[in-house]
A and B are shown apart, each in its own frame.
Chain A
Amino acid sequence: AQSVTQPDIHITVSEGASLELRCNYSYGATPYLFWYVQSPGQGLQLLLKYFSGDTLVQGIKGFEAEFKRSQSSFNLRKPSVHWSDAAEYFCAVGAYSGGGADGLTFGKGTHLIIQP
């Protein structure tokens, strides 16, 4: 079975500073990896995704992530955070069987706090 680990429950970053959120996955085949962001009481918004090809993927809101198969990692980065980036961030892996989707398995999430 697949699993996702986000080792940091909370991260505090000063506005304007760089950000890296860590994600490690466990999956037997080629992983399909995603980062979602969730503001309080809201749904999940897709930031970016990796299926294949270029291991550095660009997303919305200035985010990027790098897939490293050797480290089973898919870390999310942003060069300069804004106060509006404060939210909960979820890394997820997709599983598929028999041509149909089996849903996403999420990490526990990282709560991002932005200091002024």
Chain B
Amino acid sequence: DTEVTQTPKHLVMGMTNKKSLKCEQHMGHRAMYWYKQKAKKPPELMFVYSYEKLSINESVPSRFSPECPNSSLLNLHLHALQPEDSALYLCASSSLGTSGGNLADTQYFGPGTRLTVL
């Protein structure tokens, strides 16, 4: 099973709202990721939790706040967003596995949350 689930599927929020996106995997993976994808663009990495350590893309605004309550769950807290933050937000997970002594890691993606900021 390579399923990553994301809720909600769609979210519409105002610029003063606080909301959260949720991601869950039950594959025992040790790394989880948030990507942002604008229309007709490739996904761009926002955050990585790897071995429970957070890595931040320095260009991500502080109005996005990730949280990893446990190894299966990853949240993205949203506060005071701007209309340009409207996008598809993708969650992924990976096992950080190895093959032949080398890192051999594959990311599996969820279906995404379509966020619209009014």
Contacts and interface: CB of A to CB of B under 8 A. Distances in A.
B42 A109 contact: yes
Interface stretch (A12-20, A38-46, A68-76): A38-46
B43 A44 contact: yes
- Residue from A36, A49, A101, A108 whose CB has the most chain B CB atoms within 10 Å: A101
Contact of B111 (A30, A43, A103): A43
Contacts, number: 83
Chain B contact patch, size range: 35 or more
Q: Looking at chain A's contact residues, is the secondary structure mostly helix, strand, loop, or mixed? A: strand
Determine the interface band of chain A, counting residues with CB < 8 A from chain B. 20 to 34
Contact of A52 (B88, B94, B102): B102
A47 to B, nearest CB: 11
A101 B42 contact: no
Interface in A81-115: 90, 94, 96, 99-109
Contact of B109 (A32, A43, A101): A43
